Amino acid sequence: MNEELRIIISGGGTGGHIFPAISIANAIKAKRPEAKILFVGALGRMEMQRVPAAGYEIIGLPICGFDRKNLLKNISVLFKIWKSQRMARKIIKDFRPMAAVGVGGYASGPTLNKAAAMGIPCLIQEQNSYAGVTNKLLAKKARKICVAYEGMERFFPADKIILTGNPVRQNLLETTMSREKAISSFGLDPQKKTILLVGGSLGARTINESILQHLDIVETSGVQFIWQTGKYYHAAIEEQLKGKQLPMLKVTDFISDMGAAYKAADLVISRAGASSISEFCLIGKPVILVPSPNVAEDHQTKNAMALVNKDAAIYVKDAEAPHMLLELAVKTVKDESKLKDLSTNILKLALPNSANIIADEVISLTSK
């Protein structure tokens, strides 16, 4: 093809949407270095920082979600949707994309709606086992729908579905660091079992409370912990830990090298976001999942149960975590047989090369 490849990728709001979007863009560029890729996101959301940091141009739309508690505020939301639709039309007219990709999140709605209306072939990528509202609405207009879980025919037309898995952060798969070196990089003892607690970049209050309420277990378990508190909670937690001698506890607000953190961990405690689960599957990491109850359609619980039903993860309900999570984690990390079973079973669910497969599908749309 002589014509320069031009692709729009739209969506965001959370790392679970943004990491796959950037991975898809990188895979397209690896296959077609001359490709021009433009991201369309939502103003004020994290994609407006993360996408430029990855080396791509992004335009922000003034779109936001409906306020279900204060209906009067939705007058301004409707105006923002109308304005975003107009902006999306102009962006598409100026950029002239040959295909549009939606990864979920507010911005993908108006962008892919307008792209489809203007005859641009569209592909959507659904990360979760329970489809998001935006992607369900866009499904009729999309040519292809890439999914990470089986059984998505209940949301989407079966003839459009391709089971690809979720693209993950490439550096997690490429780390060559040994477990010993990884643990040492956190100032901990390579001879001891290590549990990693992560609640996303902002943190997870329940996971944090689960450890704060049981520092006696931390002190006496003989296990060591890497604890990512999240930026939002970090200062308050540091204040609560002041004066306590806990050498087996490494506390940090944010972990920049998650490849090293996963390599160091014998067991991970995490929320059940789709991207995180895909990462655990690909690296075969034993995990206890504590789904966030504060997400649309309780989709994190559905993500978690897709693994639990295949004995590939342990599930702890958010409300029960502060009472039982830490004791269960210490018991599990000391059970070599259980760790091995969890690792073996979660590896069976891995879908590798997701970004490359999706990139091929996107490129194929441009030649039809």
Residue labelled with tokens 């060591």: 224
pTM, two decimal places: 0.84
Residue type (1 letter), 363: I
**Closest to 105 in 3D by CA, of 52, 48, 143:** 48
The per-residue pLDDT for range 264-290, each reduced to its tens digit, is 999 999 999 888 999 999 999 999 999
3-state helix, strand, coil split of the chain in percent (to 5) is 50, 15, 35
Task: Give the SS3 label for residue 199.
Answer: coil
Least confident among 4-8, 150-154, 252-256: 252-256
Report the first-to-last Cα separation within the chain, whole angstroms: 12
**Closest to 10 in 3D by CA, of 33, 35, 34, 42:** 42
On the question of pLDDT at 160 being above 80, the answer is yes
On the question of pLDDT at 114 being above 80, the answer is yes
What integer pLDDT is reported at residue 90 of this predicted model?
98
What integer pLDDT is reported at residue 176 of this predicted model?
84
Q: Is 79 exposed, middle or buried (0-12, 13-18, 19+ CB in 10 A)?
A: exposed
Are the C-beta atoms of 286 and 332 separated by less than 8 Å? yes
- What is the secondary structure of 126-154 as a DSSP string? E-SSS--HHHHHHTTT-SEEEESSTTGGG
On the question of pLDDT at 16 being above 80, the answer is no
CA 27: distance to chain centroid?
18
Residue 263, both tokens = 């390599």
Mean pLDDT of the chain: 92
Higher pLDDT, 272 or 298: 272
